[in-house]
A and B are shown apart, each in its own frame.
Chain A
Amino acid sequence: MTRLFEVRDLNVMLPTRHGPLAVSRDISFSLEEKQILGVAGESGCGKTMTMLALTGLLPPGSRVSWKKLELAGRSCDPSCRTDISKMRDKGISYIFQEPGTHLNPLFSIGEQLTETILCNNRGLRAKTARQEAVRILENVGLRPAGDFLRRYPHQLSGGMNQRAMIGLALAADPKLLIADEPTTALDLLTQRSIIDLVLSLVRTRGLSVIWVSHDISLMESFADTLAVMYAGRIVESGPAKDMTRHARHPYTRALIHCLPERLKEKRFQPIPGHVPALNAETRGCAFYPRCPFGMPACAQAEPLTIETENSRKIKCFFPQNT
């Protein structure tokens, strides 16, 4: 296995009316080739912001810094503004949550695809680009492709639009695909078919995938490694099966317990309280106010990330044992 992507100590600050807000802090992870990393957490935990930062898609004025950011052996210079966009152009594609709002309603699927193909291969002839577009559409399961080239996003269902979006992502011939909640708006059958499509792309094209979702049990079924984010930090990470079977951080446990299949006395088990606002400055562990196992020490200082056996990383003073 070769390492494809590595990020160490990524910090993201967003400008707001009330001053800069830290939305991700000290994010570190790495990804091997042909691997799938699942990123879990509630809304407002900074999952999307982190992914946008890794691709240089944040709004202007935001400050992103890192110690190391490397894709396929090519590292990125934090002081150079455009370096990260160049890295993205070379090998990262992004699938957004709502395909309906991220595809251009004024252009047909074919026009959008050929445009992307031509942007990535300067000097290609329009006819070749069109053939390539047909090939891609067949690849993502939109057949007959010639028919779909002429259609507009509003003529397609949510699942088909998501397929078209994956097609657009493939047009740039990426090494890494970032999928930000790609199936949240879809029903179960469509969701499964999109997952199967991405898995087949991992096998056939050797893609690596970062899959962002709040459904940890969904990702357990296909991800190799999992990372759980809370309040802009990665609180636990490790091999997927091991993480969900023996969750050690109280937040990971809480996330697993609020799944519909975990019932207690005929009631679902939501996590009490709310995700803290990003401007709430806490000295201690960010999860302490909601944590059922919290101790006074948790309020005093932020826990460091400890590494345990079988490459698990936990950011907690009192990791739970199963």
Chain B
Amino acid sequence: MLLSAEHLTKYYPLRASIFSRARACVRALEDVSFRLPEQHSLGVMGESGSGKTTLARLLANLIAPTRGTLSFSPAISDRTKDIQIISQNPWEALDPRMTIGQSLKEPLIIHRMNDIRDRLRRSLDLVGLDRHCLNRLPHEFSGGQRQRIVIARAMSCGPKILVCDEPTSSLDISVQAQILNLLLDLKEQQKLSLIFITHDARLLPVISDSILVLHSGIMVERGPREAVLNKPLHPYTRQLMTLSKLHEKPQAARGAGGAGCPFWQVCSLKKTECSEHLPEIVQISPEHWVRCCHFL
């Protein structure tokens, strides 16, 4: 196992001002556990507000978990180097005042890498950009090219895990196909593991080997790709899967927070106890887990 996450939980404190005490918390992520083997890609699926980005930031060590642990195999010696993140918005990920060359060099200098030049050239080759772009500024590039530059920067220190936080949601459909193909190629050639976060279930059959579904920060289902896509167990996952076939009309969606199951208000299978407490997560088959009272 390259990485294993146990009961990852993140609460954000709510304060009236930065000097006052936290009066309440926002539950961004609650009890998420998974393992990531080598050369594996985990698709994380959920709506906006489901805690997808919080999970990405926890994995990339940008924030610390409130509870729970992340443990790594010895292959990952330096988290900041071996886990790289690709953010959603390539317009904000690059400093507008730095040339592409400067942006790409920065992580290499921070991690005290030698042969910076070689690494730069190799990472540009990986993403299919040519060397002339090094002296140019981010505004001279299109969205797809910028996302390539961000990927080149992430790849330059030779990471083991790439956390992709909706890398294509702001790109148009042909560019999306190019970037996804690039990520798939990188995964195969560079023996990378991917954590691919998305709200578009249509991408999951290709990009992910296993799938984790989040709803309001709670992991509702996790399992191998075929099982989750073809035989989803949790009612919420079922609804997401029908939604990806755009011609079918979904039922009213979304539930509200509270102590119970996050989906109980709109769930077609709800029982009375669903509103009162969160069901424990249940193992259905060796790799398939679901959090729903019907499987207890």
Contact = CB atoms under 8 A, between A and B. Distances in A.
Interface in A177-211: 184-190, 192-193, 196
B143 A260 contact: no
Contact of B177 (A43, A185, A269): A269
The 7 closest A-B pairs by CB, nearest first: A268-B177, A270-B177, A187-B199, A260-B202, A270-B178, A258-B177, A214-B172
A317 to B, nearest CB: 23
Interface string B61-81: 000000000000000000000
Interface residues of B, number: 33
B174 A42 contact: yes
Nearest to A40: B173
B37 interface: no
Contact of B49 (A44, A157, A268, A269): A157
Contacts of A258: 173-174, 176-177
Nearest to B184: A267
Contacts of B176: 258, 260, 268
Nearest to B248: A221
B206 interface: yes
Interface residues of A, number: 34
B174 A158 contact: no
B239 to A, nearest CB: 8
B243 A268 contact: no
Contacts of B254: 189
Contact of B244 (A188, A193, A254): A188
A271 interface: yes
A289 B22 CA distance: 60
Contacts of A228: none
A185 B199 CA distance: 11
A189 B48 CA distance: 9
A275 B180 CA distance: 19
A278 interface: no
A214 B180 CA distance: 17
B199 A255 contact: no
Contacts of A261: 202
B247 interface: yes
Interface string B200-219: 11110110000000000000
A110 B142 CA distance: 37
Nearest to B166: A187
Given A187-B47, A187-B48, A192 B243 contact: yes
Contacts of A221: 246-247
Contacts of B199: 187-188
Contact of B180 (A189, A268, A271): A268
A266 B243 contact: no
B173 A259 contact: yes
Could you say which of A221, A260, A263, A271 has the most chain B C-beta atoms within 10 Å of its C-beta? Answer: A260
B265 interface: no
B47 A260 contact: no
A295 interface: no
Contacts, number: 86
A215 interface: yes
Interface in A68-86: none
Contacts of B203: 260
Contacts of B47: 187-190
Interface of A: 42-44, 157-158, 184-190, 192-193, 196, 214-218, 221, 254-255, 258-261, 263, 266-271
B175 to A, nearest CB: 7
A255 B174 contact: yes
Contacts of A196: 249
A258 B143 CA distance: 17
17 contacts: A42-B173, A42-B175, A43-B142, A43-B172, A157-B49, A196-B249, A258-B173, A259-B173, A260-B177, A260-B200, A260-B202, A260-B206, A266-B184, A267-B184, A268-B176, A270-B174, A270-B175
B174 A188 contact: no
Contacts of A157: 48-49
Given A187-B48, A188-B244, A221-B246, A268 B201 contact: no
A193 B244 CA distance: 14
Given A43-B175, A255-B174, A268-B180, 15 more contacts: A42-B175, A43-B142, A186-B48, A188-B201, A190-B47, A217-B246, A221-B247, A254-B174, A255-B173, A258-B173, A260-B180, A261-B202, A267-B181, A268-B177, A269-B177
Contacts of B206: 260, 263, 266-268
A69 to B, nearest CB: 28
B250 interface: yes
A186 B169 CA distance: 9
Contacts of B283: none
Contacts of B205: 263
Interface string B116-132: 00000000000000000
B170 interface: yes
A154 to B, nearest CB: 15
Contacts of B240: 188
Given A189-B47, A190-B47, A260-B206, A42 B172 contact: yes
